[in-house]
């Protein structure tokens, strides 16, 4: 399965909320300062705030075929959703890097069909889904907002990405 649209960090910047103000920050600066290679953006309502160092979680998203295997990621909170339209119009989400997790990716599946996911993938899933049906609802609730031009069928037909992440430490990134 291939991505049916470009999205994400293609412009090299993120919008960062800090002290009540929004700044546009180069992703490369965040990666360099935090010694990570990836952002795994998590909706504020799903964030594993009560988790402990060493816990492992599963993060599901739409497929991402970037060809760059990464080991470490920062998990910023999505404070306000952005969107990407078929005509190329994009509004970046507003992210918070205040007291967020740095994690090690221990497994990465770029794309898999929903029906191939076994029960092991639903243990400690960010967003709390426990089966294929709940996962589809979770994916639709996230991506209807960010990809408003796609139908539910178009979103779900892409399959899903799976990241198994181990929480390492909390950080705050200041710009």
Where are the chain's structural domains? 13-171
Residue 9 has pLDDT above 80, yes or no: no
| Topology, domain 13-171 | 2.30.130
Say if CB 156 and CB 140 are below 8 A apart.
yes
- Inform me whether the pLDDT recorded for 4 exceeds 70: no
Residue with the bigger pLDDT between 136 and 5: it is 136
Nearest to 41, CA basis, from 13, 89, 81:
81
Helix (H) or strand (E) holding 27: helix 27-34
Q: Which residues make Cβ contacts (< 8 Å) with residue 44, sequence separation at least 6?
A: 77, 78, 79, 96
| Radius of gyration, CA atoms only, the chain | 15
175 pLDDT tier (thresholds 50, 70, 90): confident
Predicted pLDDT of residue 73: 96
**What was the pLDDT predicted at 88?**
86
């Amino acid at each position: 399965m291939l991505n049916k649209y470009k999205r994400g960090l293609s412009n090299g910047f993120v919008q960062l909320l800090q002290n009540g103000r929004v700044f546009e920050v180069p992703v490369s600066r965040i990666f360099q300062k935090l010694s990570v290679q990836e952002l795994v953006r998590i909706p504020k309502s799903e964030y594993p705030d009560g988790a402990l160092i060493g816990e492992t979680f599963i993060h599901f998203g739409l497929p991402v075929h970037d060809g760059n295997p990464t080991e470490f990621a920062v998990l910023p909170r999505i404070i306000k959703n952005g969107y990407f339209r078929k005509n190329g119009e994009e509004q970046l989400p507003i992210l918070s890097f205040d007291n967020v997790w740095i994690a090690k990716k221990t497994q990465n599946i770029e794309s898999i069909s929903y029906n191939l996911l076994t029960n092991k993938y639903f243990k400690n899933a960010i967003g709390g889904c426990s089966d294929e049906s709940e996962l589809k609802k979770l994916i639709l609730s996230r991506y209807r907002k960010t990809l408003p031009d796609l139908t539910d069928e178009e979103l779900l037909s892409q399959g899903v990405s799976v990241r198994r992440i181990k929480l390492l430490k909390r950080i705050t990134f200041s710009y």
